[in-house]
Amino acid sequence: MAADMVMPWLAFAADVVEGAGDHGSVGWFSPKNTYFWVGLGFVVFIALIARQAWGAIGRALDARAAGIERQIQEARLLRDEAQKQLAEDQRRQRQAAKDAEAIVEQAREDAKALKAQAEKDAAALVDRRTQAVESRIAQLQQSAVAEVRAAAAHAAVAATRQTLQDAMTGDTGRQALDAAIAEVDKSLH
């Protein structure tokens, strides 16, 4: 098959070589030289197709390059946006860490203040309870002293009555005794 394709060209080359010696035969540009015109037509045809193909390929490559350029620009924009977002997130993280430290420090100070206040309140409560107990003890002591005095007064009155009864006899003695007992009872209570 390759020999079939090569043979016409060899024949054409032989004709060209034979015609080169004698000027009357078919030359390169002669209208009778069909191989030349077919070859020329083929080259022109291929050139036209190649021009169209190169134009289409060039436009496709230009479109592809433009698409790639757009993608690169979008990627750059996305990268820039991501870097801005990263910087913002890092700033927020630093701020959150500072806020957390401030909150912890404030909580420690509040805990110290609450502890101090609780100790004050506990001391005040103990003081109030102590005072209340001391006051109650003083009241009970006064009450006990009053009861002892009353008991002593009753005992003294009873003893005086008995002594005076034994010493005095009669109605006048009894009346004087009752008046004295009433007077002593008033002065002791």
Provide the pLDDT for residue 188. Answer: 64
d(CA 139, CA 127): 18
Provide the pLDDT for residue 22. Answer: 47
Quote the radius of gyration of the chain (alpha carbons, Å): 68
Provide the pLDDT for residue 152. Answer: 77
Token output for 45: 């045809």
Over the chain (189 residues), the average pLDDT of each successive run of 10 is 59 57 54 80 89 87 94 95 95 94 94 92 89 89 84 76 68 70 71
Backbone phi, then psi, for 18, in 5-degree steps? -65, -40
Provide the pLDDT for residue 24. Answer: 47
Provide the pLDDT for residue 143. Answer: 87
Token output for 80: 């820039």
Q: What is the DSSP string of 59-116?
A: HHHHHHHHHHHHHHHHHHHHHHHHHHHHHHHHHHHHHHHHHHHHHHHHHHHHHHHHHH
Provide the pLDDT for residue 21. Answer: 46
Helices 34-167, 2-21: crossing angle, 10 deg rounding: 130
d(CA 144, CA 137): 10
Q: Exposed, middle or buried by CB within 10 Å (0-12, 13-18, 19+), for 61? A: exposed
Token output for 186: 């008033």
Are the C-beta atoms of 28 and 16 separated by less than 8 Å?
yes
